[in-house]
Chains A and B, each alone.
Chain A
Amino acid sequence: MRLEIEDLRVALSGREVVSGVHLLAGDGEIVGLVGPNGSGKSTVLRTVYRHLRPTAGKVLLDGDDIRDLTARQAARHVAALPQERGTDFELSVREVVAMGRTPYKRAFAGEDPEDREIITTALEQVGMAADAGRGFSTLSGGERQRVLLARAFTQRPDVLVLDEPTNHLDVRHQVELLALLREHRRTTVVALHDLNAAASVCDRLHVLHDGAVVASGTPREVLTSELMAGVFGVRAAVVDHPLTGDPLIAFDHRAPADVPVVA
């Protein structure tokens, strides 16, 4: 399913934090949303999974405005992994994953064999089937993220939206999680801080700066040393990754770029 965002504007407490964003994720594409802190990445994503209502503009699924759907209908197309990471309540891994069936179930309806099948499959896909009975709050950060991804899979979504899914994970767990996105590929929009991860995982990148998209294209087109200086305010050289051939951004961690050139 194709996701398009047209001239999206969002105001929070009277301040416009997203001003006229255009974004495209083609069917089956993994699209990265990158940009400095406060550039509006999470806000854009929140309008896609309908936590926030845009002040203007549209989120389109295969050309249909997502606002014309009910919340439940929308949740059958779009599944989200927000930055919220947990719960103090005694929920088991399986109970968390089973929540993904929420948009398909009527009040008082129990789990049918199809639900159970979908839940089991999702647990297997993320490699957590053996942990179904464990308490969610006892999991490590990497395990939690995999379980939350399984929950998103049980929504059987056409579009997956992830907000910084690799935050606070060690490198191995970052690689594992991003590999899962590619392995079970569907239209995906993912906000990422790690530009090198974005460069190797995403088919297309949109760069946000102060609530507007300032660059769009393949990672190689978008990630340039000019953009690193202008948008991120750092000095960097973009080279070829010696192992994968993907763009590799080599940052100068000693000092920021001295004259930010606004793109």
Chain B
Amino acid sequence: MAVLSLRRKQDRDTSAARAGLVAAVLVVALVVLLTVAVSLGSSSIPVGQVWAAVGRKLTGAAPAAGTSDVIVWQLRVPRALLAAIVGAGLGLVGTAVQALVRNPLADPYLLGISSGASLGAVAAIVLGAGAGGLLGLGLSGAAFVGALVSFSLVWTMARRGGGFSPLRLVLAGVGIGQFLSGITSYLVLQTADEQQTRGVLFWLMGNLGGAKWSLLAVPAATVVLVGLLLQSRARGLNALLMGDETAAGLGVDVARLRRELFVATSVLTGVLVAVSGAIGFVGLMVPHVCRLVVGGDHRRLLPVAALTGAVLLVAVDVVARTALDTQELPVGVVTAFIGAPTLLYLLDRRLEA
């Protein structure tokens, strides 16, 4: 790959500068894509009008006549922002989980958290108002409770015998994830209501359709906080890549770092899945591709992965909304179409090397 050979010829000082350049390009791309995402849709709104509408809203000016201001501000802006937030979060979580289990092909959903969230959400949909009214949880609330349940189970299983070794984490995560997915499937089969089954399927595939302003604050805050935490642990994450003993020899408290990482990535995964369903492949692909471009040093990798995830998911959501005239696709379908071939290509490349 051209980017890779370019990187290898250069020294680190220039490579830090390049990571900065990559980040700048990604920020510009993100702004452009967000604009495009708000502009495109069942009724197209010219780009100039998009910014005019946003400007009117931010300055408190009176909205323009017609529906376009409402479409822009109430529907499309929150949705595009949610895509960016979720994408950034998945990029971060994927990067951290891959370091946590020391496997560059690990997925954020490997640790079973998303299966719990899905079970919570599906239970809320299938059991309907009866359970939704239960504790007054919405869909997202139920999903987050599900994530907490699976987190507790995986935590309990993985920490037995002391320490969260990568192998224990993965085995506990996969085992408990499969178990919870089994219950989810059972619940889906129990519903006779076709509309409900469709709703469940849509949710399980990952879906940004529920975006609204009131839903943005929690995921945005979580992404920022977890992002800062991870960035502050970037050197520790680097050390983990070499092995637990090496990390200990570098003065890293390995057991504590693993605990922090597991809790932080679980909370973020739970929040993301709660607002958007389990969107596949982003958390797997983004860190991997970013590593090829800016290298494996987490001090550079984390911010670049967050930006790349945001750019990717905003773009993917535009495709999901506009690819078919008749209906919207779940984002997960689009990420799978893009992600699976990319993954296979990367695997092929890795095994050849």
Report chain B residues within 8 Å CB of A99. 235, 238-239, 242, 246, 250
Known: A72-B251, A84-B246. A133 touches B11 (CB 8 A): yes
Report chain B residues within 8 Å CB of A84. 242-246
How far does the alpha carbon of A89 sit from the alpha carbon of B301 in the complex, in Å?
A: 12
Contact of B296 among A73, A80, A89, A116 (CB under 8 A): A89
How far does the alpha carbon of A74 sit from the alpha carbon of B102 in the complex, in Å?
A: 25
Contact in complex: B251, A95 (CB < 8 Å): no
- Interface segment, one of B2-10, B63-71, B194-202, B274-282: B2-10
Known: A75-B251, A103-B251. A133 touches B8 (CB 8 A): yes
Contact in complex: B12, A98 (CB < 8 Å): yes
Binary contact readout B278-308 vs A (1 if CB under 8 angstroms, 0 otherwise): 0000000000000110011101000000000
Report chain A residues within 8 Å CB of B15. 133
**Residues 125-164 (chain A) with a chain B CB within 8 angstroms:** 132-135, 137-138, 155, 161
How far does the alpha carbon of A102 sit from the alpha carbon of B237 in the complex, in Å?
A: 11
Known: A99-B238, A102-B252. A94 touches B12 (CB 8 A): yes
A76 at the interface (CB under 8 A from B): yes
Contact in complex: A51, B245 (CB < 8 Å): yes
B94 to chain A, nearest CB (A): 13
Binary contact readout B6-44 vs A (1 if CB under 8 angstroms, 0 otherwise): 011111110100000000000000000000000000000
Report chain A residues within 8 Å CB of B241. 87, 89, 91
Report chain A residues within 8 Å CB of B253. 71
B178 to chain A, nearest CB (A): 25
Known: A89-B296, A92-B12. A133 touches B104 (CB 8 A): no
How far does the alpha carbon of A75 sit from the alpha carbon of B245 in the complex, in Å?
A: 12
Return the chain B residue nearest A109 by Cβ.
Answer: B235
A183 to chain B, nearest CB (A): 22
B191 at the interface (CB under 8 A from A): no
B249 at the interface (CB under 8 A from A): yes
Contact in complex: A82, B245 (CB < 8 Å): yes
Contact of A95 among B12, B233, B250, B350 (CB under 8 A): B12
Contact of B246 among A71, A82, A110 (CB under 8 A): A82
Contact of A79 among B232, B249, B297, B353 (CB under 8 A): B249
A182 at the interface (CB under 8 A from B): no
B342 at the interface (CB under 8 A from A): no
Q: How many residues of B contact A (CB 8 A)?
A: 41
Report chain A residues within 8 Å CB of B350. 88
Report chain B residues within 8 Å CB of A82. 243, 245-246, 249
Contact in complex: B299, A49 (CB < 8 Å): no
Contact in complex: A92, B250 (CB < 8 Å): no
A22 at the interface (CB under 8 A from B): no
B248 at the interface (CB under 8 A from A): yes
A148 to chain B, nearest CB (A): 8
Contact in complex: B11, A80 (CB < 8 Å): no
Known: A90-B292, A91-B241. A133 touches B10 (CB 8 A): yes
Instruction: Pick from B4, B231, B233, B251 the residue with the most CB of A within 10 Å.
Output: B251
How far does the alpha carbon of A174 sit from the alpha carbon of B299 in the complex, in Å?
A: 34
How far does the alpha carbon of A83 sit from the alpha carbon of B243 in the complex, in Å?
A: 10
Return the chain A residue nearest B292 by Cβ.
Answer: A90
Contact size range, A:
35 or more
How far does the alpha carbon of A60 sit from the alpha carbon of B231 in the complex, in Å?
A: 34
Binary contact readout B97-116 vs A (1 if CB under 8 angstroms, 0 otherwise): 01000111000000000000
Contact in complex: A132, B244 (CB < 8 Å): no
Instruction: Pick from B4, B11, B241 the residue with the most CB of A within 10 Å.
Output: B241
A78 to chain B, nearest CB (A): 7
Contact of B248 among A50, A88, A94 (CB under 8 A): A50
Known: A49-B248, A94-B11, A102-B251. A108 touches B291 (CB 8 A): no
Known: A91-B295, A95-B238, A107-B233. A135 touches B250 (CB 8 A): no
How far does the alpha carbon of A133 sit from the alpha carbon of B7 in the complex, in Å?
A: 7
Contact of B249 among A51, A86, A137 (CB under 8 A): A51
B93 to chain A, nearest CB (A): 17
How far does the alpha carbon of A94 sit from the alpha carbon of B300 in the complex, in Å?
A: 14
A211 at the interface (CB under 8 A from B): no
Known: A46-B245, A133-B10. A74 touches B250 (CB 8 A): no
**B-side interface residues toward A, CB under 8 Å?**
4, 7-13, 15, 98, 102-104, 231-233, 235-236, 238-239, 241-246, 248-254, 291-292, 295-297, 299, 350, 353
Q: List 16 A-B contacts (CB under 8 A).
A: A49-B249, A51-B244, A80-B245, A80-B249, A82-B243, A87-B102, A89-B241, A92-B295, A95-B295, A95-B296, A99-B246, A102-B235, A105-B235, A107-B231, A107-B232, A135-B8
Given contacts A51-B248, A94-B11, 10 further A-B contacts (CB under 8 A): A51-B249, A87-B241, A87-B242, A89-B296, A91-B297, A95-B12, A99-B242, A107-B232, A132-B12, A133-B12
